């Protein structure tokens, strides 16, 4: 019994590699006990209510599902018991979604004990280190650690392994106008663009420059230069630049962007002629957009 406790104290990697781990351990009710690694029925696993991720890329999930279908799940999910024969995801929700797509009935899980506060912390930190999390999702995760766990930015930086300035820069993104946040979330602008916009005190001017970034494809360096000039004095527009788009066109573009869940850019010249450009990142996304347009 002592040897098993030692194995459980060395972390998940040690448990997976340890021949001492009991993978069929059950309690008297027939449930797997905390500390066990077991194949659990996917119908008995609930999503994590503290999950900070808001979007799961469909194409990426399909690729992972294909890999799981061929090789199985290499890294077990981490779950906690929440009742009789019921479990809740702590880490690995993307793997669970892909496993469901692959048609798996059971998935390997490491069962551990965690209260709600630990669930939130583990879910946030596990997701923060994922490469496909967008800057706003990271910013929201950092802010939740501050607000809900009562941590300082310094505490957060230590927990996630980032310097305090990095944490502060992400959290500052949440002070940007909703339109800028929307553009950042949908990859119309980058983190570098957003940081340049933060340096502009006037929200209305932030939106003006946001439109210039999207319409003209300004680089981060060009945006930083424009932001500096804006703070130094009035924003000047050259005579040969395109006029600002009317509010009804901007509103229509925003509605189309949201409806298609894709980047939409509307351009119009001084004669009233223009174009609508819909961006896509993959063949499957193009097919999705075309299907939505054909339904109209």
pLDDT per residue as tens, the chain (296 positions): 444 443 333 343 443 333 333 333 444 344 555 667 889 999 999 887 776 665 667 788 888 889 998 888 888 988 888 877 889 888 888 899 899 999 999 999 988 877 777 777 777 777 676 666 788 888 888 888 888 888 888 988 888 888 888 999 999 999 999 999 999 988 899 999 999 999 888 888 999 999 999 988 999 999 998 988 887 765 444 444 455 667 677 777 777 776 777 777 777 776 677 778 787 766 777 777 888 787 65
d(C-alpha 6, C-alpha 20), whole Å = 9
Tokens of 117: 């506060």
d(C-alpha 8, C-alpha 4), whole Å = 6
Q: Which is catalytic among the residues 57, 63, 93, 231?
A: 93
93 carries an active-site annotation? yes
Tokens of 10: 């060395």
d(C-alpha 98, C-alpha 74), whole Å = 13
SS3 82: strand
Q: Is this structure's pTM higher than 0.85?
A: no
Question: In this structure, how many other beta carbons lie within 10 angstroms of the beta carbon of residue 160?
Answer: 17
- The CATH number of domain 2-114, selected from 3.40.50.1370, 3.90.1530.30, 3.30.572.10, 3.30.1330.10: 3.90.1530.30
SS3 42: helix
Q: What pLDDT sits at residue 213?
A: 93
Does domain 177-241 fall into CATH 1.10.10.2830? yes
- Which alpha helices (DSSP H) does the chain contain, by range? 2-8, 12-17, 58-71, 93-101, 116-128, 135-148, 153-160, 164-172, 178-185, 191-198, 203-216, 220-232, 247-260, 283-294
Ordered by start, the domain boundaries in the chain are 2-114, 177-241, 242-296
């Amino acid at each position: 019994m002592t040897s098993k406790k030692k194995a459980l104290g060395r972390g998940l990697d040690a448990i997976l590699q340890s021949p001492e781990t009991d993978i069929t351990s059950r309690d008297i009710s027939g449930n797997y006990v905390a500390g066990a690694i077991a194949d659990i029925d996917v119908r008995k696993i609930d999503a994590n209510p503290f999950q900070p991720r808001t979007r799961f890329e469909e194409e990426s999930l399909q690729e992972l599902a294909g890999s799981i279908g061929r090789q199985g799940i290499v890294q077990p999910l981490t779950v906690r018991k929440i009742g009789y024969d019921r479990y809740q995801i702590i880490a690995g929700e993307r793997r669970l979604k892909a496993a469901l797509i692959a048609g798996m009935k059971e998935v390997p899980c490491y069962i551990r004990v965690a209260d709600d506060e630990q669930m939130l912390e583990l879910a946030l930190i596990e997701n923060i280190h994922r490469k496909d999390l967008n800057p706003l999702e990271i910013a929201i995760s950092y802010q939740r650690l501050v607000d809900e766990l009562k941590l300082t930015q310094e505490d957060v930086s230590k927990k996630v392994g980032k310097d305090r300035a990095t944490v502060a820069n992400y959290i500052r993104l949440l002070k940007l106008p909703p339109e800028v946040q929307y553009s950042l979330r949908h990859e119309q602008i980058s983190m570098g663009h957003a940081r340049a916009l933060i340096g502009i005190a006037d929200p209305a001017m932030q939106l003006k420059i946001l439109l210039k970034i999207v319409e003209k494809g300004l680089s981060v360096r060009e945006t930083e230069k424009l932001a500096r000039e804006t703070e130094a004095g009035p924003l000047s527009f050259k005579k040969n630049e395109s006029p600002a788009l009317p509010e009804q066109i901007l509103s229509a573009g925003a509605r189309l962007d949201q409806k298609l869940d894709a980047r939409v850019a509307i351009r119009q010249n001084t004669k009233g002629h223009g174009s609508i450009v819909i961006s896509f990142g993959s063949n499957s996304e193009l097919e999705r957009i075309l299907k939505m347009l054909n339904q109209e």
